[in-house]
Amino acid sequence: MSVVAFLFGTLLIMNILLAVVVVFLERRDVSSTWAWLLVLSLIPVIGFILYLLFGRNLSHKKIFTWDKQSRLRLQRVVTAQKEGLNERAKRDPILQEYRELIRMHLNHDQAVLTYQNELQMFTDGRTKFDALLADLERAEDHIHLLYYIVRNDRLGQEIGEVLARKAREGVRVRLLYDDLGSRGLSKRFIRKLREAGGEVEAFFPSRLPLINPRMNYRNHRKLVIIDGQTGYIGGFNIGDEYLGSNPRFGYWRDTHLRIEGGAVHSLQARFILDWNQASHRHLSFQNYYYPQARENGDVNIQIVSSGPDAEWEQIKNGYIKMILSAKRYIYIQTPYFIPDDSLLDALRIAVFSGIDVRVMIPDKPDHPFVYWATYSYVGELLKIGGRVYIYRNGFLHAKTIVVDGKIASVGTANIDVRSFRLNFEVNAFLYHEQSAGNLANVFHQDMIQSTPLTWEKYMQRSLTIRFKESISRLVSPIL
């Protein structure tokens, strides 16, 4: 009994010390602090282990590094853009109207505004991957891929075969995958690509079997850069399920962009930073990876990144600024809707101001706790007059926001705390009426495949669902 008492007392003291760290040293937001204190209090031993695996704060840690010359060059470009933005905006009504949003991204993420980009949008997996495979086949110099999930299935093998063949042809092929998201990726897949001359690295790999203290911080980005001229960004990962082949999810409805123009250079810089974090074979930021951009379009784009290493939640702040700028409507598509207080307040203000706020979510969960927390938060919108649609034609995984048919955001960040604070994300902010209008049209088309969720229907949910919502919402800040 004395040994048991000693162990219990030791664990209690460790729990108290950990609670002190959470409250006083890490300076988390209040909701996350209370959620962790609840976990530590209710399940002391398991909670302690969960905190070590999922709760450590990466904020202010230097994870991604620029060389001095490239950093100075970027700072000069950003400074010049900030000084010349008002003059440039005089020639473009969209830039004029949203210059404060542009300036915010310049100030807090050094997100360079690029002009004359050409844009192609995909909402279907097969179409997207057909285009990607064709672009990979045309690669002449280098192929850079970063994906959260790479499956070892038919699509994964198809892309792997193309990458290996291009590597044997002399094209520099580099694949970066998230260690947790792609945990099912086989060693044979990796070995085959490396033997062909390609390079493969994992982001935040586990140092010990089954234990990874950084497993909670995932690289959720999906990027492809080909020859520094063509780029891809959006929600599709690599796997058969994204072609609609998984009967559990059915048709996979996502949104992805293919870009040509100066924005590809921003995607390239993002990849190089992530690659250099994961690999000891560092890439330079020299002109070699930034050839003269093809400027055949008229789309203005900022590529904005965020992650747990940053002081500011750049993508979330961009969402809030977009919402508060709305004059007519806000359309949001997201698989998870778990906004923090600041974003939820922005949506409330928009609804109270008479803005048409519509949120579309899937009708099936891929993460049960997250789904029921989502259901709880959409109830908040319904109660005050927001409109909610449940997508029925498969699984909705798109991460898009459209405001007034003038600006839009497409990328990897969901409307949830994990994307805002825990994951490494990247989004394209589009300042282009036609592109935003196209995304608004897609939303309307998806409404045909959706069922409106009314306040009356929501209030008829069962006690079981209400219980699931309450528990999920309670722990939503750490989901």
By annotation, the residues acting in catalysis are 220, 222, 227, 397, 399, 404
Nearest CA to 425 out of 338, 310, 305 is that of: 305
Alpha carbon separation from 168 to 163, 164, 242, 458 (Å, rounded): 9, 6, 28, 57
Whole-angstrom distance, CA of residue 212 vs CA of residue 296: 45
List residues bridging with 258 in a β-sheet: 120, 232
**Identity of the amino acid at 187:** K
Q: Which helix (H) or strand (E) holds 218?
A: none
Nearest partner of 115 among 304, 257, 302, 315, judged by Cα? 302
> How far is Cα 337 from Cα 135, in angstroms, rounded to an integer?
34
On whether the CB atoms of residues 32 and 477 are closer than 8 A, the answer is: yes
* Main-chain dihedrals φ then ψ at residue 281, nearest 5 degrees: -95, 80
Q: Please classify residue 254 by burial: count the beta carbons closer than 10 Å to its beta carbon, then call 0-12 exposed, 13-18 middle and 19+ buried.
A: buried
Rg over alpha carbons for the chain, rounded to the nearest Å, is 23
Q: Give me the residue label for tokens 């029921």.
A: 372
d(CA 351, CA 341): 15
